[in-house]
Structure 1
Amino acid sequence: MFRRAMTLIVALALLAGLAVGGYFLPVPYIVASPGLAVNTIGETEGEEPVIQVDGRKTYTHEGGLNMVTVQYTGGPQGRMDLFNLVRAWLSPNESVLPEEAVFPPERSVEEVSEEQSLEMEDSQTAATAAALTELGIDYENETVIADVDEDAPAAGKLEQGDTVTEVDGEPAGSNDEVAEEVADRDPGDDVEITVERDGDTERFEMPTTESDDGTAVVGVMVANNPDFPFEVDISVGEIGGPSAGMMFALGIMDRLSPEGLTDGQAVAGTGTITPQGTVGGVSGVAQKMVSAQRKGADYFLVPQESCDQTFDSAASDDLSVVRVSELSEAVSALETIRTGDGELPRCEAD
């Protein structure tokens, strides 16, 4: 009996040890939780405007046009343990995601961080372009080669810094339009790209290849290089990614407009932006809505593509959610909020 009792005690101790060890064992998941909210028409912690304009008259208005973020915990450099993972699963404000959703296994943490920083820079440039277009302020734009894949068809022909002037003999548009023009063919078909390099015009014909999503590409990254009539600087610290683009554009418009866009109302939102003013979908909307709620926002602007995420948020009952697909629609929605005239476009459940 004594041996049986000792065996049972040892077995239970081992089982408890395994349970405790497994509970704190690192697991390949990350937790998305509500992050920072930054008022784009407000000031930084250093009491400088978040959006500063040099070379044109600006205005300061009351209210809030808040960009909101998601905070990620875990990842290759600090994996979550099972204890905190279970806690996050039970939390109404957090989501659990596979690690590869944010940190693809084929890419390093440094590469992901660098990409997010570049996306933030691009979103600020696109937001400035979209805001100026919406305000009717002209500017010049060039589309340049930002990077060339050394194993791609463009290698040895196109170079970083080249200005794209034509695709198949037609004038080049924005970076997105150039990519679409190249993709408008079957992978393997040829494309002719004309560039300006060191003051000379160069034409290159090359085959396309198939990208991961099945479209035709030549293996280059193209970027907009706009020449704005004045300088716009946006300061949001170490925040990365493209999802604040729409709120940046609205913040720039508010800074340049004699009359404010909000009339003192507290508004938050999320969504990417193109230079043409198209608002694109984003992830983490449920957590961003909680960030907006904590910031005191009454209204939340969300891309139409991301409407389905709004119904899962713990803050869905406390925010008036407004769907938009273009910057002009966001401006119209703010006018409705300001005046109380008309109806706001809402997200609808499937």
Structure 2
Amino acid sequence: MKTIRRLAGDESAAPPLFPAPARQPAPLSRGNVIFLVGFFLGLAVLVVGNLVHVPFAIMSPGPTMNTLGEVPGEADGTSLISIDGLPTYEAEGELSFTTVSVLGGPGYPVDAFDVLWAWIDPSQDVLPVDEVFDPEASEERIAEENAIQMEGSQEEATAVALRALGQKVTTHIAIVEILDDSRARDALRPGDRIVRVGDTKATTADSVRGALQAVRPGEEIEVEVTRSGKQVVADVPTTAGAEGRTALGVLLQLDYDFPATVTINAGDVGGPSAGLMFALGVYDKLTPDSLTNGRDVAGTGTIADDGAVGPIGGIKQKMAGARSGGSEYFLAPRDNCPEVVGNVPAGLEVFAVDSFAEATRAVEGIASGRTSSLGRC
């Protein structure tokens, strides 16, 4: 009888006499089942939350820009405010305008997770999108309106600053855009300066609107304009505007004759809310002494032709952005005080102003360290 000898290390020398039974997979425990169900449910919620857009707008703090400095990101060191035709001076410190980042409008939809995160973050606000944007306006239309408002705020800021320095500035009422449904398209042009409407001299946009009420919507009215330096008189068809009032179907803004060329490079920022800080920046660059004395002052507010400072949106986000940008002082429109109270970031002093003259006094007080008499919210 032969002896079969198995050599050590040679597992293939002889097969086992009785093969081991096949191993059956162990059943999932209750805990594993719950984990897997939860995992796939969470994955589904994550996918849906990122795909489903919701009708909200999110307002977040945006960057600040120093009107006394250079345009951020420009390699050639372009000044944010440049002036030709009048002596300018080096300005110390910062006079920064603040911005708000808004998501949720046309072209920038938000999803459920964006909204959830914004609700958690105290520096952000969530609003119904229709409260922030015209529901009928397109992305292009909103951008166009913001650009028009920004241009207007820069012009008015320049006028206010130059007048405060004793310079002569002549004001005109100009057509900036003719609306698609306007019947005046064949008679008027963008850039026309309105001299009179009917028998009324055009001194303000309100004077133009008031003069139009002398005729019924659809009737013609005589309008005199200056176009490329020449006087043009035309019988212009009117249309029905808001609340059935007679209108021309045009957008108006103030236009000026300045004694100097002032260029403000604000990048892609739109809207009118930087007007106050533009005016302070132009004023500081045209005065020999530093308005801030090296202090870091930020602020916001619209500016009107008469120097009045108006309220803006997103004041909470703008204060947060100013503090994140290093500012210790902030100028806020007085009409925004109800929103300022309770939302001021630690380390930021806020002063309430309602005119350019008051804002100038506030910055001078900050510069000298005498702020006890300045207005606050």
- Decide whether aligned partners of structure 1 residues 296 and 126 sit closer, same or farther in structure 2, where only a CA change above 3 A counts: same
Amino acid at match of 1:226: Y
What stretches of structure 1 move > 6 A for 4+ residues in a row? Answer: 8-14, 183-187
- Decide whether aligned partners of structure 1 residues 314 and 80 sit closer, same or farther in structure 2, where only a CA change above 3 A counts: farther
Contact 1:286 1:312 in 2 (8 A): no
Contact 2:94 2:294 in 1 (8 A): yes
Amino acid at match of 2:49: Y
1:41 to partner: Cα distance = 1.1
Partner of residue 31, structure 1 = 58
Selected match of 1:293 from 311, 323, 326: 323
- Decide whether aligned partners of structure 1 residues 279 and 216 sit closer, same or farther in structure 2, where only a CA change above 3 A counts: farther
- Decide whether aligned partners of structure 1 residues 211 and 30 sit closer, same or farther in structure 2, where only a CA change above 3 A counts: same
Question: 1:183 and 1:261 mapped to 2: Cα distance?
Answer: 44
Matches within 5 A, 1:1-350: 16=42, 19-24=45-50, 25-45=52-72, 46=75, 47-152=77-182, 154-174=184-204, 176-179=205-208, 181-182=210-211, 188=217, 193-197=223-227, 199-202=230-233, 204=235, 209-211=240-242, 216-313=246-343, 315=345, 317-339=346-368, 340=370, 343-347=373-377
Amino acid at match of 1:295: G
Deviation digits for residues 104-151 of structure 1 (CA, Å, limit 9, x no counterpart): 331211221122122212211111111111211002333222222353
TM-score, reference length from structure 1 = 0.85
1:161 to partner: Cα distance = 3.3
Task: Identify the range of structure 1 (274-283 vs 8-17) with the bigger mean alpha-carbon deviation.
Answer: 8-17
Deviation digits for residues 216-240 of structure 1 (CA, Å, limit 9, x no counterpart): 5331112333121111111222211
Deviation digits for residues 33-89 of structure 1 (CA, Å, limit 9, x no counterpart): 111101111223443322111121101121111100011234443422212211110
Deviation digits for residues 262-315 of structure 1 (CA, Å, limit 9, x no counterpart): 112211100111222121111011000011111222221111222222125251
Question: 1:254 and 1:159 mapped to 2: Cα distance?
Answer: 36
Question: 1:346 and 1:292 mapped to 2: Cα distance?
Answer: 17
Query: When the two structures are aligned, how many residues end up with a matched partner?
Result: 339
Contact 2:197 2:212 in 1 (8 A): no
Question: 2:332 and 2:47 mapped to 1: Cα distance?
Answer: 42
- Decide whether aligned partners of structure 1 residues 187 and 97 sit closer, same or farther in structure 2, where only a CA change above 3 A counts: farther
Q: Which has the larger radius of gyration?
A: 2
Question: 1:275 and 1:167 mapped to 2: Cα distance?
Answer: 21
1:30 to partner: Cα distance = 2.5
Question: 1:153 and 1:284 mapped to 2: Cα distance?
Answer: 37
Amino acid at match of 2:54: V
- Decide whether aligned partners of structure 1 residues 188 and 299 sit closer, same or farther in structure 2, where only a CA change above 3 A counts: same
Amino acid at match of 1:244: A
Contact 1:323 1:345 in 2 (8 A): yes
Provide the secondary structure at the position in 1 that maps to 2:167: coil
Deviation digits for residues 327-349 of structure 1 (CA, Å, limit 9, x no counterpart): 111112222223316611112xx
Contact 2:222 2:233 in 1 (8 A): no
Question: 1:292 and 1:186 mapped to 2: Cα distance?
Answer: 49
Amino acid at match of 1:138: K
Amino acid at match of 2:268: E
Question: 1:82 and 1:332 mapped to 2: Cα distance?
Answer: 46
Task: Identify the range of structure 1 (143-152 vs 234-243) with the bigger mean alpha-carbon deviation.
Answer: 143-152
Question: 2:212 and 2:343 mapped to 1: Cα distance?
Answer: 37
The runs of 5 or more residues in structure 1 that have no matched partner are none
